[in-house]
Amino acid sequence: MGLLALASAFALDQGTKWWIAEVVMQPPRTIPIVPFFNLTFHRNTGVSFGLFAGFGEAGRWALVAVALAVVAMLCVWMARAERAWVGVALGLVAGGAISNVVDRLRHGGVTDFLDFYYAGWHWPSFNLADAAICVGVALLLLDGFLGERRKETAGIADGRQP
């Protein structure tokens, strides 16, 4: 299940980035969709919120190396996962990370195009890989909380105190 989630996150993200860059944003522009959402085109050479964008080629390669190391660790964790949804969560995170690495290698930065804003608040643009990573992390956090709850419940059932 984890590998399917990884492949799906990667393919969906790369497909939408290609469609935005090569079809929708020719020429590059901002397209209002609804009063709180635009499609836009941006290459982020940093990480979240553009952090570390000013480090040039050395920064780009450092981000690629760190991301690939994290993906390797996630894949080991995914292979050892005892619950399918943990594998799916790890696959979403790894697939999103690999897709963003591919962007860094091909374009020098990550293609972002989802632009949300409301009442003077404007979130930095992002892509589907970023969304997959966030969903995967949320599932891992949920599993962590539920795992603690399962341990407490098992302790009570065994006559032990939580």
CA distances for 72 relative to 39, 49, 75, 87, 93, angstroms: 32, 24, 5, 14, 11
Q: Which of 115, 130, 143, 158 is catalytic?
A: 130
Residues 6+ apart with CB under 8 A from 70: 97
CA nearest to 59, candidates 67, 39, 130, 27: 67
Please confirm, yes or no, whether 143 is among the known catalytic residues: no
Q: Which of 112, 115, 143, 158 is catalytic?
A: 112
- Give catalytic residues, as residue numbers: 112, 130
